[in-house]
Amino acid sequence: MLGVGPMSRTSTLAAIRLANRYRAPVALIPSRRQVDARAFGGGYVENWSTDEFSAFVRKHDEGGYALLSRDHSGPWQSQPDPTCAEGSMSLPNAMAEVKVSLSDDIAAGFDLLHIDPSPALSRGFSEDDVDDIAVELIEHCVASMPVGRHVAFEVGTDEQDLAPDSLVATSLRMTRITNKLEGRGLPQPLFYVAQTGTKVAETRNIGSFDQPLTVSGSIPSTVHLPAILELCGSHGLLLKEHNADYLSDNALRWHRKFGIHAANVAPEFGVVETQELLDCLAELDLTSERQRFCDLVLSGRRWEKWLIHGSDASELERVRIAGHYHFSDPEVIEIRAAASGAAEAKGYSLEDRVYNRVESAIDRYLRAFGYGGPRA
């Protein structure tokens, strides 16, 4: 199953339509930074609150194939408060906040919730503490569910890395969290997020999964993945991969051969939409509008988190990386409207062209993952 990051209205709509075209489930995976509870001001994607995002999806999902799947929900996973330093919120306050967000997800009809307290690790908490936080949040969700309602869970607190994690470490984490949930009488997760050797930086995947030679000191994916899948199966869990962006068609087809159950792709679709917008602005000779867009993105500095240490990425590459964070800014909406008018004068729809490019990018994954049967 593909999880699609709703980087914009365009990518959200494309994912919904493709799910209905193939008549197969596609998960929409907003992070709290992208879409969040109304109480926290929503997110940077369309300024949508959780209930507004859910209503949009349900309105366009005629066949009921689009799944609402919260990605990376946990303390310190929301947009930083501009009035204080990021991460300065105490654990009790961060937990109170995320519980409001998760209750809102359940009320809005979300199907799957990724419980991810991993930011606690960088704040001095142990892995055992992180597991306890995850259990507390799952317990809160279960208590928040109306009678007869079922919501599935995804757990996994490790950040993706260049190479797969050791089987011993993964086994210990998996055993620890499943035992704690069982001890509290709580449901076991549907998915476990494990490292498969995928990692996104700038506009490429720098992990070992898609490399002809493995990262030094790592277990090759051909050896690691069957073992990790067997480990998941022994606990009754399905394997979820994050950061599958930019993998080659061949690497994506191997996902089916290995038996990976689900994979998430997000920033790539934002980059694709940004690049198409930039191309259109150049072709339409909207030089000043294109420069305004670039200046806005560069000054926002949202590209910093994606750069490799010592990167020599150009200004244009940085715009491509982070343009999607600004699609809902009033100035960008104005620029896009001007471009739409200029394109219409030349006999074509800018938004249709952007949509088609994004849809094609999503469809590449769906076909590789077996959506559409023999055509994949």
* CB proximity list for 100: less than 8 A, separation 6 or greater: 37, 39, 40
Cβ neighbors of 122 (< 8 A, separation 6 or more) are: 87
Reported confidence tier of residue 206, pLDDT bands at 50, 70, 90: confident
169 and 140 part of one domain: yes
Cβ atoms of 90 and 125 closer than 8 Å: no
**For residue 216, is pLDDT > 90?**
no
Token pair listed for 191: 């998915």
Residue 120 to residue 118: CA distance in whole angstroms: 5
pLDDT band at 195 (very low <50, low <70, confident <90, very high): confident
Of the pLDDT bands very low, low, confident and very high (cuts 50, 70, 90), residue 220 is low
The residues with which 36 forms a beta bridge, in sequence order, are: 49
pLDDT at position 97: 96
Q: What is the CATH number of the domain that holds 188?
A: 3.20.20.70
Residue 279's alpha-carbon distances to 12, 327, 338, in angstroms, are 21, 16, 14
Q: Residue 116, CB half-sphere, CA atoms under 13 Å: how many? A: 24
The DSSP result for 61-109, as a single string, is: -TTS-EEEEEEEESTT-SPPPTTS-TT-S-HHHHHHHHHHHHHHHHHTT
Quick one: pLDDT band at residue 376, thresholds 50, 70, 90? Answer: very low
pLDDT tens, 304-325?
Answer: 999 999 999 999 999 999 999 9
The least confident of 33-37, 142-146, 193-197 is 193-197
Integer Cα distance of 45 and 43 in angstroms: 6
Are 322 and 218 in a shared domain? Answer: no
For the segment 221-242, the average pLDDT, to the nearest whole number, is 90
Confidence band of 237 (pLDDT split at 50, 70, 90): very high
Q: Are residues 131 and 178 in the same domain?
A: yes
Neighbouring residues of 222: CB distance < 8 A, sequence distance ≥ 6: none
Q: pLDDT confidence of 142, banded at 50, 70, 90? A: very high
Range of the domain at 286: 270-357
125 and 223, same structural domain?
Answer: yes
219 and 294 fall within a common domain: no
158 band by pLDDT with thresholds 50, 70 and 90 = low
pLDDT at 163 over 60: no
pLDDT band at 210 (very low <50, low <70, confident <90, very high): confident
Question: Rounded CA gap, 325 and 8, in Å?
Answer: 9
Regarding whether 113 and 103 lie in a shared domain, the answer is yes
For residue 202, the tally of other CB atoms under 10 A from its CB is 19
Q: Is the per-residue pLDDT at 375 higher than 50?
A: no
Shared domain check, 321 and 187: no
Q: How far apart are CA 20 and CA 262, in angstroms?
A: 18
Report the C-alpha gap between 347 and 351 in whole angstroms.
12
My answer on whether 208 and 304 are in the same domain is no
Residue scoring higher pLDDT (34 or 198): 34
Q: Are 150 and 205 contained in the same domain?
A: yes
Report the C-alpha gap between 20 and 109 in whole angstroms.
19
Contacts (Cβ under 8 Å, ≥6 apart) of 307: 201, 202, 313, 318, 321
Give the number of domains in the chain.
2
Q: Are 196 and 232 in contact (CB under 8 A)?
A: no
Q: pLDDT band at residue 207, thresholds of 50, 70 and 90?
A: confident
How many Å apart are CA 5 and CA 362, to the nearest integer?
10
The CA radius of gyration of the chain, in Å to the nearest whole number, is: 21
Which SS3 state, helix, strand or coil, does residue 199 take?
coil
* pLDDT number for residue 374: 56
Q: Do 248 and 332 sit in the same domain of this protein?
A: no
What is the mean pLDDT of the segment spanning 22-26? 98
CB 137 within 8 A of CB 97: no
pLDDT at residue 215, as a whole number: 56
Per-residue pLDDT tens over the stretch 333-365: 999 999 999 999 999 999 999 999 999 999 999
227 and 282 in a single domain? The answer is no
Contact (CB, 8 A) for 27 and 19: no
Residue 208: band (very low, low, confident or very high) from pLDDT cuts 50, 70, 90: confident
Between 158 and 27, residue with greater pLDDT:
27
Domain shared by 183 and 277, yes or no: no
